[in-house]
Amino acid sequence: MGNRTFIRPSGTSMAVLGLAILAAVACGAAGGKGQKGGGKKGPLEPTTYDPQVSLAPLVDKVSPAVVNIKTETKVRVPGFMGPDNLFEFFFGPRSNRPSPFQRREREQTRQAAGSGFIVDRDGLVVTNHHVVSGADEIEVQLSDHRAFDAVLVGSDERTDVALLRLKDAKKLPVVEFGDSDVLRVGDRVVAIGNPFGLDHTVTTGIVSAKERVIGAGPYDDFIQTDASINPGNSGGPLFNLRGEVIGINTAIVPRGQGIGFAIPSNLARQMIESLRSDGTVVRGWLGIVPQPLDERLAEAFGMKEPAGALVANVQPGSPADEAGIEAGDVIVQIGKKKLEEARDIYGIIANLKPGKTIDFKVVREGKRRKISVKIGQRPDEGAAGTADDGGGAKAPAGELGVSVGELTDSMRSRLGAGQVKSGVVVTRVDPDSRLGSSVTEGDIIVEVNRVPVGSVAEFDKALSDLEKGDDVLLLLFRRGAWIYKVVRL
C-alpha cells in the first residue's frame, strides 16, 4: 500500500502526551480600530536589526504577547464497580440483589494544551476553536509566568478561530496583525508556540505556499510554511519580519516534515472583530450551490476559459433567487473581485456584510450581464440528505448506458431530495458506458441540455434528438449536492 497522508490540528492532548505541563500559545495581533487599549494604530515600524544576523530582537519584542493555554474538560467514561465484600466476589450476589459487577459511568478530567496571543491590553486572546472547544476550565499563562483564568467570548468552528477574555487583566502586552495578502512565497516567517508543552519555542522558515486547500471546510485558504509546527502550536502566531502576525498556526501533516498550515491574518481578523462585537460570526449569504468549471463545462456555457463559479442550483427565496441569478449562470466577478476559481466565492460572500447591495457580473448563454444582489445573513446549515438507490419503473436510455425511474414522493424522501421538484432517478448504470464514470445509482437527473425533465418519457424525448458525438449537459442532484456534468455520446 502507498503512503497515506492526513491533515490534523496541531493541538496537544495532555492525556496522549502524558505531559503535566501548561499549554502553549502564540501569535498575536490586533489593536485595530475599536480595540480598547490595542496598542499603536497601523503597522509596526520596521525593525532596525539585521535578520540575517539574529532574530533575537524580533523574538524579544513579540514574545511577551504569546501565551500558553491549558484546558480541562470533564467527560463521562465507562467504568467498572466491583463487589462490596469478598463473599460476593467469589460467590456472587445474595438473593435478588443486582450483580456486584456493574458497568457504571465515571467522571474523568482531560487536559489539553495549545497556544494563543494577546490582541487587547485588557485581556483578549486569540487561539484556535479546536484548542478550547468544550473546555470546562481555561487557564492562560504569560511568558512572565502570570496566570489568568479565561472565559470564551466566542468561537467559529468553520474557520477554527476562537476569542478568549482573561479575568482581571490590565495593561498586557499585545501584538498586531499584518496584511497576509501581500505575503509572497519565499518570505521569511517566525512561529512561536508551545509544541509538546515546551514553553515559548521559536522556529523559523519561509512561506512555502499560499491558498492551500487541505479539506478543512469551505473556507480553506491556508498559508503553508516550513517553520516547524508541532502538536501544541495550535493557536500560536506566525510572524513576518516586522513582528506582525500574518497567520494563526492551525494544522500539520503528522508524517510530514516542514509542512505546517496557518490561517491568514486577513481572514482571522474579520472573524475576531465579529466574535468581539457579537460573540458569534455573522456571514454573508447568497444562496447558491457553486461548481468549478473545467474546459468542457466552460465551452458548454459559452465561456472562453474555465474561470468563475458555475451556479449549479439556486435556493428558492434566497438573495440570489430574489436578485435573478439562475442555475447555469457563471459568476465571474463580485464587486471589484474577479473569480478565478469557484471555491473563492465562499470566502468572498462570507466576508460581505448582510444587507449590503453589490454588483455581480455573470455569463448567461454566452453573454455578460450585471445583476445587483442584496446580501443576506447566512442561516444555520441543515443536514444534507443521503442518496440511496431505488426501484420503480425502469426505462433504457440508449447509448448513455443507464436506466432511470420516476421520481416518486417515497423515492424523494429516501434520497433526501425534498428540494428537488422534478427529475428522474438513475436506477442502474453500466460501468463501461459513457455515463459510467459520471453518474451513479441514486442520482437524480434534473435537466438535459438545460431542459427540465420531469418524467422518464421527457428524459427519453430529450435524448432522442441527440446524435453520436454530441455533448450532453446534465444537471444532477447527488447526496444533497447539485452538480453539472458534460458527457459526450
| Residue that the C-alpha cell 435478588 belongs to | 96
Tell me which of 10, 234, 265, 274 is the catalytic residue.
234
3-class DSSP assignment, residue 107: strand
462 in helix, strand or coil?
helix
Q: Annotated catalytic residue: which of 120, 129, 155, 160?
A: 160
**160 annotated active-site:** yes
Could you give the C-alpha distances from 31 to 110, 269, 377, 473, in angstroms and in order? 34, 10, 27, 52
- Residue (of 330, 334, 335, 337) closest to 366 by Cα position: 330
Active site residue 50: no
| Dihedral-angle region of residue 197 (phi above 0 means left; psi in -120 to 50 means alpha; beta otherwise) | left
Q: How many residues does the chain have?
A: 489
* Percent of residues in the chain assigned helix, strand, coil, to nearest 5: 15, 35, 50
Closest CA relative to residue 242, chosen from 301, 183, 295: 183
From 129, 130, 329, 344, the catalytic residue: 130
Query: Which contacts qualify for 321-324: CB closer than 8 Å, 24 or more apart?
Result: 321/287, 322/374, 323/360, 323/371, 323/372, 323/373, 323/374, 324/371
Residue 143 designated active-site? no
Q: In the block, which residue shows the cell 470546562?
A: 136
CA 359/CA 392 separation, integer angstroms? 45
Catalytic (active-site) positions: 130, 160, 234
